[in-house]
Structure 1
């Protein structure tokens, strides 16, 4: 966020000539018109000034007669990716940040396109057999099955790299050489990739115990290597850091419609009849932010599933947070899911929406 956004605040009585000076000095190609309480009244850009001059409005014209009274704004919780999308779609160089109607900042395109960098390791689970995708996985580990021209795991890796992550660990078991040969040490992508190998299957959480003691004292993002998603990982990490739980689990709301009328009864007496009700559930999305203390609690070569590990902390009244995922998400577990992922990636489906 621009640190000198206060320099482009002007009252509505400011003349167009004075506004030109403010815009020039602010070097952001706009000025924010506010009242005495910092409520946003409008935005004026260099383009607005030029159009006013074409209309023969004088330089002494109050800027309230020139400004855009309905500008595009965002809140402080708007993700970086969403802001970037808004700016690109609308051709904007900046967006005012508003809270309760008042200006609290100004996000600029120049600032937002600066690639962030996070030292938090990313742990990708790639050791599964992919049994439900046979025969495709007879001679190829599931993470290397291609979506378009790239393997599933490479698509996932690129998503994290685009969000600013550069330190990766990949857990392997089934056909580990194929995965290591493809990704190497990560230098092809300008990142570092390390491997932990399960000599025997350790469940969905057991490989945490194989991570080195030299990990930085930071939460790690852990993700199944068969999940295709547009989760905003930056926002996920910020969410975890804000609430500081032992673990944050990404969840997805799913609906199940019962295709029959549901009867509730007391003994032989029917007390209600609901026709084809819909039930909503949160399901585990296979993406976690895990604290260092949870990692340390898993012993080397201990077999444990993430659900069991998390349930043990819940039973001990530890704080486990959930992060609802509304973005694109697909678990590539069955053949029909793989075909859907192919469609979404190759044909410009929801994954690119």
Structure 2
């Protein structure tokens, strides 16, 4: 089936009548004008037509004088959220997507971009941890069920993913797992589907994936059940697919300042000084996108943490990618984190 934007492309030698007919037929309030080489020359909207007619142009007039030259365009890899901000800032409802040759390869429409895309991809949430550092809070409650602003952390994660179009979830449970099952059931009350992986003993942040009975046929997401973040799960998935990675890890920049001046030496000779240097690195943010092929490197009931799975993929020369995040992120591991998470959610 021809994509809608393809129907809205007209050649440079079109008339105003051609544009009006296209606007009526395609009904997306914009026409994309390209030259003989397929390069985008500009756009024409209903408003451009009306202004031209007011200036005395007729239906058989050439469109050259009403083309909006140098329109705002975006590359295919630009994130949905950024496109929305561009639309709001420039008070426009359509933005063409062009490649490096300035050929039209897509079209963002406000009415579509504000509706979350339906994501049939699976999301696995690791919710089996003991939460030792959060005791006594976790003595009678699994860590992902601890309340943040009146709702369990796990519910916040599922609701956020649902708002982005995800509807199929698998929860890996172990410690006090029955409490999680009793609360969420099959997900019907939240309007999603929830299945469970029941660990007989802790399998690590990747090991529980080896219990999946049906291997996903498309890339899927994995997140720790104690990570609260404003990351766009769908954009992580799109990044993963676009970069042809076997596995992608969300990473967050971390800075640490040495408390002392550092003396650089070579043998007994001093070769330099650094006054309280700042060390910059990336830390694992606990959210991942994986291709189904990654599951073949896991054995059922084998303990495996996610970094080890990434190393196995790397050993097979598979591409493993880092997805840098700048969004608010919190790994809820200590009582202070729990308070901070509640404050952040309430103020959001």
Query: TM-score over 0.5 for the alignment?
Result: yes
State how far apart, in whole Å, the 2-side matches of 1:211 and 1:8 are: 45
Partners in 2 of 1:21 and 1:126 — Cα distance? 56
Aligned counterparts of 2:89 and 2:188: Cα–Cα separation in 1 = 33
Q: Deviation of residue 347 (structure 1)?
A: 1.0
Q: Assess, with a 3 A threshold, how the Cα gap between structure 1 residues 8 and 245 changes in structure 2: closer, same or farther.
A: closer
Deviation for aligned residue 1:265: 0.9
Q: How does 1:168-179 map to 2 (within 5 A)?
A: 168-179=169-180
Tell whether the 8 Å contact from 1:2 to 1:106 is kept in structure 2 after alignment: no
> In the TM superposition, what are the counterparts of 1:1-353 in structure 2 within 5 Å?
3-10=3-10, 16=16, 18-51=18-51, 56-60=54-58, 63-69=63-69, 71-87=71-87, 91-100=91-100, 101-112=102-113, 115-212=116-213, 214-315=214-315, 317-348=317-348
Deviation at 1:125, TM superposition (A): 0.6
Structure 1 vs Structure 2 CA RMSD: 3.1
Alpha-carbon distance change, 345 to 48 in structure 1, aligned in 2, over 3 angstroms: farther
Q: Distance in 2 between matches of 1:283 and 1:158?
A: 25
Counterpart of 2:159 in 1: which secondary structure? helix
Give, in whole Å, the separation in 1 of the partners of 2:243 and 2:105.
23
- What's the CA shift for 1:115? 4.9
Residue pair 2:294, 2:313 contacting (<8 A) in 1 also = no
Aligned mates of 1:219, 1:102 — CA distance in 2: 29
Report the Cα distance in structure 2 between the residues aligned to 1:34 and 1:82, rounded to whole angstroms. Answer: 25
* Aligned positions, number: 345
Distance in 1 (CA, whole Å) between partners of 2:315 and 2:33 is 53
Q: CA deviation digits over 1:77-111, x for unaligned, max 9?
A: 12344434544665533211122334333222344
CA contact (8 A) 1:219 1:291 kept: yes
Unpaired runs of 5+ in structure 1?
349-353
Three-state SS of the structure 1 residue aligned to 2:186 is coil
In structure 1, the residue corresponding to 2:228 is in which secondary structure?
strand
Q: Which residue number corresponds to residue 351 of structure 1? A: none
Structure 2, unmatched stretches of 5+, are none
The CA distance in 1 between the partners of 2:211 and 2:18, in whole Å, is 64
State how far apart, in whole Å, the 1-side matches of 2:303 and 2:154 are. Answer: 24
Conserved in 1, the CA contact under 8 Å of 2:297 and 2:309? no
Q: Deviations over 1:86-144 (max 9, x none)?
A: 44665533211122334333222344456543443211011112233334333332212
SS in 2 for 1:337: helix
Pair 1:110–1:293, CA change in 2 (3 A)? same
Distance 1:253 1:311 in 2: 21
Any conservation in 2 of the 1:17–1:59 contact (CA below 8 Å)? Answer: no
SS in 2 for 1:216: coil
Which piece of structure 1 moves more, 194-203 or 317-326?
317-326
Does the residue aligned with 2:216 lie in a helix, a strand or coil?
coil
Question: Normalising by structure 1, what TM-score?
Answer: 0.83
